[in-house]
């Protein structure tokens, strides 16, 4: 039997065909554009996601017996606001997770409603990328469209609706809306009142592995699949990636170097970061997790390579080749990776990317190295916030596009000072989606059983004590740069 895992990302949708032994039989990608109509804005047409499915899934199945596909699971970009009218038409382009337009609404929620009250109601404070501030922005700036809303969905739930005809979501993805009572896993009536959200707008809640429905006939025909294929609720991309890397149960950690960067710590019990630097969300295994999210991770390297150096993705390794091991921890250039503002742990939409420490001796390779190190240092910021919240992190998994760079993995392992385990299957969210589909279809009794059985480590990056010490000194300097620039960032934004 086969299972389809989908990773609905910001720049592309990735599809995996996985057999019951956990082997990836085929994988492919369909890319689509991102719209940034104003500085700090980030939007996408949901039709692009469905078009990617209509093209990608039939291609994925070529040469395979589609009748043997039993289930589908989707891991998707979180927080995006997809607003539908009563006819099921999209009212406006989806406002994405890395959109920074909601600074005023976020400030209102955190100061007028108050961080303490938000944490009591939802387990989290407001961040600009969350869905609730987007709804407040839409109510204030686009009242006519807001008045026509009949349903609000998250990106992956839009695909589930197109597949099944059902309006559903899962607890992990819903946790990032700031409308869910995360501890009790139910919609918060008070937060809905604050944001002007009607209860009938909200999707039905599920655990990630639970079946939403089978494919509706029209979708099955379009995709070349039988109508009996089960579609599970799926998960937010980080929770799905955690499943795909075996980060389940108590105290496991995974770091993702994707478009965004995350540090994800699984927990069996609900608990809030009292400093409000990290998110407390439900996990796709039925528990909870702490998560720190930086808005620009591998996208920083992509920006530097594509937009500034004008090199192709195939040339990325060549750009990193001059960065010899003896240069690590000795670079005089620092980079703040806040190209889209920042979430964890500083929660500052005004923060911007910054290069500092350059001289006439600075080389192209020095700046490339600074970009990689700046992302690693920013992940360290969330790592320290997690440790301050009581998390013990002796080692971590590592996944995402950035994990394919041996140099970047070495830098990160030594900046954090812990071993990093790379999984055999690198497609974290898509593979996690496939594992959730297996549980949905009864292949495994639990998410934990599926992960323990099928997820294996391909190699481990060990930190070097001397290099870790050098990076410790550099990190202590790095962490002084943002506080020195914070007031200036605000003035520049004004």
- pLDDT averaged over 10-residue windows placed end to end, the chain, 494 residues: 96 96 96 93 97 98 97 97 98 95 96 96 94 98 98 98 98 98 98 97 98 98 97 96 93 91 93 88 96 94 96 95 96 96 91 97 97 98 92 93 95 98 88 98 97 95 98 98 96 84
Distance, CA of 123 to CA of 453 (rounded, Å): 32
Is 79 annotated in a binding site? The answer is: yes
Structure tokens at 439: 């549980």
- List the domain boundaries for the chain: 2-246
Token couple for 32: 């689509």
Determine the pLDDT at residue 428.
81
The pLDDT, as a whole number, for residue 22 is 95
Tokens of 112: 């007028």
Q: Are the C-beta atoms of 128 and 120 separated by less than 8 Å?
A: no
Q: What is d(CA 368, CA 101) in angstroms, rounded to the nearest whole number?
A: 29
CATH annotation of 2-246: 3.30.420.40
Closest by CA position to 152, among listed 139, 123, 348, 121: 139
User: 122 vs 171, 190, 223, 386, CA distance in Å?
Assistant: 12, 10, 38, 19
Closest CA to 241 of 392, 397, 18: 397
Name 17's bridge partners.
Answer: 4, 26
Other Cβ atoms closer than 10 A to 184:
10
Contact present, 463 and 398 (Cβ < 8 Å): no
Any known ligand binding at 360? no
Helix (H, G, I), strand (E, B) or coil at 234: coil
| Cα-based angle 119, 120, 122 (whole degrees, multiple of 5) | 60
What Å distances lie between residue 419 and 195, 253, 258, 403, 428, CA to CA?
43, 11, 19, 13, 19
Coil vs helix vs strand at 407: helix
Q: What are the C-alpha distances in Å from 199 to residues 161, 164, 212, 394?
A: 18, 21, 19, 43
**CA–CA distances in Å: residue 142 to residues 91, 137, 147, 149, 461:** 11, 8, 9, 11, 49
Identify which of 177, 141, 149, 172 has the alpha carbon closest to the alpha carbon of residue 83.
149
Residues 6+ apart with CB under 8 A from 333: 355, 356, 357, 358, 362, 366, 367, 369, 370
Residue 7 three-state SS:
strand
Please state at what angle helix 428-440 crosses helix 237-244, rounded to 10 degrees: 80
Model pTM score: 0.91
What amino acid positions are annotated as catalytic residues? 237
DSSP H helix total and E strand total for the chain: 18, 24
Q: Which residue has the tokens 């990160």?
A: 412
Contact indicator for 466, 439 with CB cutoff of 8 Å? no
Question: In the prediction, which pLDDT does 427 show?
Answer: 79
Task: Please give the radius of gyration of the chain, using alpha carbons only, rounded to the nearest integer.
Answer: 21
Distance of alpha carbon 109 from alpha carbon 317, whole angstroms: 44
Task: Determine the Cα angle at 15 with ends 14 and 18, to 5°.
Answer: 140
Backbone phi, psi, residue 225, to 5°:
-120, 155
Dihedral sign for Cα atoms in the order 213, 216, 222, 225: positive
Of all residues in the chain, what percent are helix, strand and coil, respectively (each to 5)?
40, 20, 35
């Amino acid at each position: 039997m086969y299972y389809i895992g989908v990773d609905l990302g910001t720049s592309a949708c990735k599809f995996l065909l996985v057999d019951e032994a956990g082997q990836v039989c085929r994988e492919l990608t369909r890319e689509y554009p991102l719209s940034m109509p104003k500085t700090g804005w980030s939007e996408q047409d949901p039709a692009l996601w469905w078009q990617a499915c209509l093209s990608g899934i039939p291609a994925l199945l070529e040469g395979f017996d589609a009748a043997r596909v039993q289930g589908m699971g989707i891991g998707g970009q979180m927080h995006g606001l997809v607003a539908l009218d009563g006819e099921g038409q999209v009212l406006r382009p989806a406002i994405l997770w890395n959109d920074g337009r909601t600074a005023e609404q976020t400030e209102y929620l955190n100061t007028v409603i108050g961080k303490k009250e938000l944490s009591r109601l939802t387990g989290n404070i407001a961040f600009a990328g969350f869905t609730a501030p987007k709804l407040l922005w839409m109510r204030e700036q686009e009242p006519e469209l807001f008045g026509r809303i009949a349903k609000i969905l998250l990106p992956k739930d839009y695909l589930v609706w197109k597949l099944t005809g059902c309006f559903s979501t899962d607890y992990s993805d819903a946790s990032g809306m700031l409308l869910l009572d995360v501890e009790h896993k139910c919609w918060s009536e008070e937060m809905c009142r604050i944001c002007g959200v009607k209860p009938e707008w909200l999707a039905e809640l599920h655990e990630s592995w639970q079946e939403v429905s089978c494919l509706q006939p029209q979708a099955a025909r379009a995709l070349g699949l039988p109508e009996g294929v089960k579609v599970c609720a799926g998960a937010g991309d980080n929770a799905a990636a955690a499943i795909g890397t075996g980060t389940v149960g108590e105290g496991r950690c995974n770091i993702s170097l994707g478009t965004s960067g995350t540090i994800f710590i699984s927990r069996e019990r609900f608990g809030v970061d009292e400093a409000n630097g990290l998110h407390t969300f439900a996990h796709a295994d039925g528990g909870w997790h702490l998560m720190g999210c930086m808005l620009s991770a591998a996208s920083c390297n992509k920006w530097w390579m594509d937009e500034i150096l004008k090199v192709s993705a195939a040339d990325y390794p060549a750009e990193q080749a001059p960065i010899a091991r003896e240069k690590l921890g000795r670079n005089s250039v620092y980079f703040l990776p806040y190209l889209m503002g920042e979430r964890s742990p500083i929660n500052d939409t005004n923060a911007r990317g910054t290069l500092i420490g350059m001289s006439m001796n600075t080389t192209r390779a020095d700046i490339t190295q600074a970009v990689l190190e700046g992302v690693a240092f920013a992940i360290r910021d969330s790592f320290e916030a997690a440790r301050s919240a009581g998390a013990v992190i002796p080692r971590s998994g590592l996944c995402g596009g950035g994990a394919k760079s041996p140099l970047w993995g070495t830098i990160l392992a030594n900046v954090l000072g812990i071993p990093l385990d790379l999984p055999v299957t690198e497609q974290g969210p898509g593979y996690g989606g496939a594992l959730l589909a297996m549980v949905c279809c009864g292949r495994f009794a639990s998410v934990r059983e599926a992960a323990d059985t099928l997820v294996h480590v391909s190699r481990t990056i060990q930190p070097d004590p001397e290099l870790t010490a050098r990076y410790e000194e550099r990190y202590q300097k790095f962490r002084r740069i943002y506080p020195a620039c914070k007031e200036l960032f605000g003035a520049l934004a004004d």
